[in-house]
């Protein structure tokens, strides 16, 4: 310890830890959104609603245990947006088709279903950069075959 410095009190140390945790949470959240903007060629103000819409729809399709495994690797600020979503009140997975996924996201984002596919692909590609490959493979394997090409890495 440097001469003349007092040791931090428990409260001061806790406050510094909280500040570091919040700073890290902001950094991972911003990095996710910046990557989504880059991958999806989308405006920054559109990235958050796009991510929330796609992730919300995806989590509705997964069994609760798998959704929790995925959530454990998401930026905490993004996770907080998902947990406030009305659709996450039911825990049973909802089976729906690829077309229904496109419709759900399109409705959320006020666009046509065919315009939603590139958004979904961009969010999935961004997830691939921020979530372990093993977890991504677990998620893909739980989805119907007609969803799987949405996860293909961009060329």
Segment 127-144, tens digit of pLDDT:
999 999 999 999 999 999
Helix 113-130 to helix 133-142 angle (10° resolution) is 140
Percent of the residues in the chain that have a pLDDT greater than 70, as a whole number: 77
Per residue in 61-99, pLDDT (tens digit) is 888 888 889 989 988 888 887 765 666 565 678 888 999
Rounded to a whole number of angstroms, the distance between the first and last alpha carbons of the chain is 53
Q: Sketch the domain layout of the chain as residue ranges.
A: 11-150
Per residue in 5-14, pLDDT (tens digit) is 666 677 766 6
Assess contact for 63 and 93: CB atoms under 8 A. Answer: yes
User: pLDDT: is 110 or 60 the higher one?
Assistant: 110
Q: Select from 58, 57, 103, 55 the least CA-distant residue to 75.
A: 55
- pLDDT at residue 3, rounded to an integer: 59
Assess contact for 67 and 85: CB atoms under 8 A. Answer: no
**Location of structure tokens 């939603």:** 116
CATH 1.10.490.110 is the classification of domain 11-150: yes
Assess contact for 132 and 86: CB atoms under 8 A. Answer: no
User: pLDDT: is 151 or 20 the higher one?
Assistant: 151
């Amino acid at each position: 310890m440097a001469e003349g410095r007092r040791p931090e009190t428990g409260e001061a140390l806790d406050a510094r830890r909280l500040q570091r945790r919040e700073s890290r949470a902001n950094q991972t959240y911003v990095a996710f959104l910046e990557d989504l903007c880059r991958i999806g060629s989308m405006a920054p103000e559109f990235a958050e609603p796009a991510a929330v819409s796609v992730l919300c729809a995806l989590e509705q399709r997964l069994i609760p245990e798998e959704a929790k495994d995925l959530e454990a690797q998401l930026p905490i600020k993004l996770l907080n947006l998902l947990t406030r979503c009305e659709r996450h009140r039911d825990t049973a997975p909802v089976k729906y088709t690829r077309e229904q996924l496109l419709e759900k996201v399109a409705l959320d984002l006020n666009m046509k279903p065919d315009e939603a596919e590139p958004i979904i692909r961009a969010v999935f590609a961004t997830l691939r950069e921020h979530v372990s490959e093993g977890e991504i493979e677990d998620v893909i394997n739980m989805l119907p075959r007609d969803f799987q090409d949405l996860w293909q890495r961009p060329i």
